[in-house]
A and B are shown apart, each in its own frame.
Chain A
Amino acid sequence: MMDDLLADFVAETREMLEASGGEIVAWEADPTDRTRLDTIFRFVHTVKGNCGFFDFPRLEKLSHAAEDALAECRAERREPDSTLVSAVLAIIDRISEMTDAIGAGEEFPEGGDDALINALQPKETIDIVGELASAKTDHLTAEISDDPSTPKTARTSVQRSIRLSTELLDEVMKGVSDMVLARNDLARRLREAGDQPGIDGPFDRLSAILTDVRASITRMRMQRLEHLFTTFPRLVRDLSTELGKQVMVDFEGGEVELDREMVEMVRDPLTHIIRNAIDHGLEGPGERLKTGKREIGLLKFAARQAGNQITIVITDDGRGIDTDRLAAKAVAAGIYSQSEVDEMSERRRHYLIFEPGLSTAEQVSSVSGRGVGMDVVRANIERVGGSIAVSSKPDEGTSFFLRLPLTLSIIAALTVSSGGQRYAIPRSYIEEIVFGSSDHVDFADAGDRRLVTFRGKRVPCLSLGHILGTEANDEVDWKNTTLVLIRLATDDVFALAVDRVYDHEDVVVKPIAPAIMETGLYAGTTLLDDGRPMMLLDLPNIAQTHRLVNEMRSTARVAEQNQVEQRKTLPVMLFLGLDGRRRAVRLELVRRIDTVSRDALDIEGARAQAVIDGSIFTLVGHEFGALPEEKCRLLRLSDAECEIAYIVREVLDAANINGEIVPSNDEPLIEGTTLIDNGLVPVIDGHALFAVHRPTDRGCQPLSCRLPTDSEWVRTILEPLVEAAGYRISTDESEETDVAIRLAENAAEVFGPARRVIHLRPEPEVGENDLGSIYRYDRDALLAALKQARTGTRA
């Protein structure tokens, strides 16, 4: 802040020096000239006043001495003579030198001041004064060159600054804007006329110069945030005194520059946040001490520039947002129901502060008033293309995050068209542009919401025609649109479908009439290069109106759920159905993959069954296409009780679903669609599948089988085989199993009850003790026996 004021001081002093330069010369010629005397008196008087403010004792002393001497003359107690004139001029020169040093941020060499001041005294002899007057310049020059810390070159490269009226600046800005329009018009005409080497070159140069000039002008319009920040300490002091609180203010990033207009636009919102923070956020000293905090509350402002965005964070270390009370008020005000509020995450509840009409203050105070407030703040911030976010922790404090575009009036824009008319979109919002006909773009519907899948992301899609009300969503020929992916400052992404994308262009945005503003669709207007007006779309507002912004009510809940789902990755198995279409099934449903011959399938009317390893399974998936001629791949899906065989053409791979599964109502056995490797994949609805195909008989209720418990071979070799044959291995000693398998070598083992027993022998040759037994590696015989046991049991 000091820097800016100093710069102002230096500029003002130089201005006066320049203006009075002529006066000084004239006064020197005629020391009795009263008007000149007055002018010079005013100059030293002003300098004296300013110095006192800045604590420049030497400057003050010099100007004070000169002022005194001149005051004597004005009071006609002293006759101005050439001696006095010389002395005053010497002082003015010295002031000028010192001012330059201040402007350059240097120390002015010590000494010499007293001699100059003494020279003003009328009693001094002409000799001394004369010496001083003539020695003055040399003396100073010597000082300067003697002192290496103040190189003369640095002094001469002092940054000069002048003050301009903002009106003039705006006028210049407008002029440049119009030049840009004229340039654009000319550029178009030149393009139409074809190549003209003699003109194109100079035109390009002109164009480049204009771009530079405009950049400079834009910088001229920039103002340091300090200008805004300087006004806050006073506000904070007044408010805290009024409310009996103690508040310390801390600023960071005051050097960040913002468009002058933008500074004005955020002044009120910031003021309001400060009021809120002091009134509601920060506790009184007593309460703070009780909670172990410092008596003095801290209010911190931090500004940062990132690209063409400015972030301003306002943090207090107060009690934080009381979300319970906020929620209760939201319910009381009928904005939300209790259950809605209960479902909200803490973060979501913080955003209740932006709901209209909610004030957390117990009492309405004169400072924050009746919660007029954060909703208006938010609206104002968004009106200038910014956004506001909040985070808060109980007893630790609250932070508001403001994100603002750098400038209001010139923006890089993309021209798009809808319904034959062109519109501008700020380029800062645009993430990517894709054609709807592109291969890696998929459209899908979720309810009435149109979705587009692109680069592994599923984002809501709006057609510009629909937004503007010129075209209904279902009339849109999506494949022929161009999609502009919009990323808002809130990081919400959506796709805007437009008829066509034209140029990137820098446009000069002008405000629009309130009645047009009320539509909430437009942020401003600009002129096309042919001079026709074009509207600039207000994307943040449009996104809000269409509930595409995270913090907005109702969509927020969906967003929260999505986030939960996104964290949970879902393993699935990908396969090609008989129709060649890719599908996915939750991996946990897949028990195993079997290959059977075509003969193992039996389809008759509505009944479709498959025999796998001697077990009969309900067959699904055959309705999608012709059966393979020989081998059929089957996915055995299990719901833990019952198994279904799902016939597929090919098993592809296992994969993880990271995104959400978008519900689909069209296909009954499809849970929804999701995105895997940038492709849309329908996910089999396991629940519905088993609900439909669960056999009513006990057909797929697995038979039980008892196995010897003390054999390693049984565990590793036999058990999987028996299980694969569709048996459940019984571990219950008392259960009467359907089948028991006994090993010949431990025939003596005590065994639980079983309806049928299969004996296995260790040797291929049939011994006399094990007639009717099966060689343990005679797989076919074993399976046949198991199958026989099954059919026998059933029969």
Chain B
Amino acid sequence: MSELLLMCIIGGHRAAIPAIRVQSVIEIEEITPIPGVPSFILGLTALRSQALTVIDCSAALGFESCGDITERRAAVVDVEGHLYALLVDEAYDVGEARSEPVDVPGGFGPGWQAAARGMVETDGGPAVLIDVEVLVKGRVAQAA
């Protein structure tokens, strides 16, 4: 199987989002903040008259928020009918997985572990395959 993956950097590390889940990659111009929400939710942004919930992936995994959002790219995914923009440090091209997702002995470290479906080999080296469902719920961030 060669699953297509959107290669990106989250919290300074290589990560991969299943490309089949990604509707598009956008550059976020403006975010409407939502008071009262957990910090990994940056707010809402509008895309073609639809509101997307902007998730700071770094924060969702329990890392420092990467702060400045300008020029940053986000992957648009649909989880249970809700659209999310997953803001990553950097987003690259779509690449093929060169292996099945596998566990790494000792795990991926706190944060990563809960939201990771495993490690995949890619052309650019190993990457953590992100579980989008877990990520948008922010369970990791809340537990941390």
Contact = CB atoms under 8 A, between A and B. Distances in A.
B51 A510 contact: yes
A605 interface: no
B11 interface: no
Nearest to B141: A515
Interface in B14-58: 30, 32-38, 41, 43-46, 49-51, 53
B97 to A, nearest CB: 28
Contact of A516 (B37, B45, B80, B81): B37
B98 interface: no
Given A514-B137, A515-B138, A525-B51, A533 B82 contact: no
A522 interface: yes
B48 to A, nearest CB: 9
B81 A511 contact: yes
A532 B47 CA distance: 9
Interface in A509-554: 510-516, 519, 521-522, 525-527, 531-535
Contacts of B51: 510, 512, 525-527, 533
Contacts of B5: none
A519 B136 CA distance: 15
A182 B49 CA distance: 9
Contact of B32 (A178, A181, A421, A513): A421
A419 interface: yes
Interface in A456-513: 468-470, 510-513
Contacts of A510: 50-51
A526 B81 CA distance: 16
B49 A181 contact: yes
A1 B143 CA distance: 51
Contact of A421 (B33, B41, B49): B33
Contact of B49 (A178, A470, A522): A178
A171 to B, nearest CB: 14
B75 to A, nearest CB: 15
A511 B34 contact: no
A534 B30 CA distance: 13
B63 interface: no
Given A513-B84, A533-B44, A519 B49 contact: no
B37 A531 contact: no
A183 B34 CA distance: 26
Contacts of B82: 511-514
B41 A516 contact: yes
A530 B52 CA distance: 16
A469 B38 CA distance: 12
B35 A419 contact: yes
Contacts of A515: 37-38, 41, 53, 136-138
A12 B116 CA distance: 51
B17 to A, nearest CB: 17
A513 B136 contact: yes
A521 B53 contact: no
B36 A521 contact: yes
Contacts of B84: 513
A535 B34 contact: yes
B109 to A, nearest CB: 23
Contacts of A533: 32, 43-46, 51
A181 B48 CA distance: 11
B36 A513 contact: no
A527 B46 contact: yes
Nearest to A535: B34
A532 B49 CA distance: 8
A459 B80 CA distance: 41
Contacts of A516: 34, 37, 41, 53
A263 B38 CA distance: 32
Contact of B37 (A178, A511, A519): A519
Given A513-B84, A514-B82, A515-B136, A469 B53 contact: no
Interface hub of A468, A510, A513 (most chain B Cβ within 10 A): A513
A690 B20 CA distance: 81
A160 B50 CA distance: 35
A469 B45 contact: no
A515 B50 CA distance: 18
A532 B43 CA distance: 11
A532 B46 contact: yes
A527 B48 CA distance: 11
A469 B137 CA distance: 21
Contacts of A469: 35-36
Contact of B53 (A178, A419, A513, A534): A513
Contacts of A519: 34, 36-37
Interface string B70-103: 0000000001111010000000000000000000
Contacts of B81: 511
A93 B53 CA distance: 57
Nearest to A519: B36
Contacts of A521: 35-36
A519 B50 CA distance: 21
B136 A531 contact: no
A692 B139 CA distance: 61
A677 to B, nearest CB: 39
B78 to A, nearest CB: 11
Interface in A222-256: none
Interface hub of B35, B38, B46 (most chain A Cβ within 10 A): B35
A532 B35 contact: no
Given A531-B46, A533-B45, A512 B53 contact: yes
Contacts of A513: 41, 53, 79, 82, 84, 136
Contact of A525 (B33, B44, B136, B137): B44
A53 B57 CA distance: 58
Contacts of B44: 525, 533, 535
A454 B37 CA distance: 33
A533 B53 CA distance: 10
B34 A522 contact: yes
B86 to A, nearest CB: 12
Nearest to A526: B51
Interface in B95-144: 136-138
Contacts of A178: 49
Contacts of B38: 515
A531 B53 contact: no
Contacts of B37: 515-516, 519
A532 B82 CA distance: 17
A534 B50 contact: no
Interface in A167-198: 178, 181-182
Contacts of B33: 421
Contacts of A531: 46, 49
A608 to B, nearest CB: 55
Nearest to B30: A532
A419 B41 CA distance: 18
A220 to B, nearest CB: 21
A182 B48 CA distance: 11
Interface string A417-432: 0010100000000000
A532 B136 CA distance: 22
Contact of A527 (B35, B49, B80, B138): B49
A429 to B, nearest CB: 19
Interface hub of A182, A522, A535 (most chain B Cβ within 10 A): A535
Nearest to A534: B32
Nearest to B45: A533
A403 B41 CA distance: 33
Interface hub of B37, B46, B137 (most chain A Cβ within 10 A): B37
Nearest to B32: A533
Contacts of A532: 30, 32, 46
Given A178-B49, A421-B35, A468-B36, 9 more contacts: A181-B49, A421-B33, A469-B35, A513-B41, A515-B138, A522-B34, A533-B45, A533-B46, A533-B51
17 contacts: A468-B36, A510-B51, A511-B82, A512-B82, A513-B53, A513-B82, A514-B82, A515-B137, A516-B41, A519-B34, A522-B34, A525-B51, A527-B46, A532-B30, A532-B46, A533-B45, A533-B51
Q: Pick the 4 closest A-B CB pairs, nearest first.
A: A468-B35, A533-B44, A533-B51, A513-B53
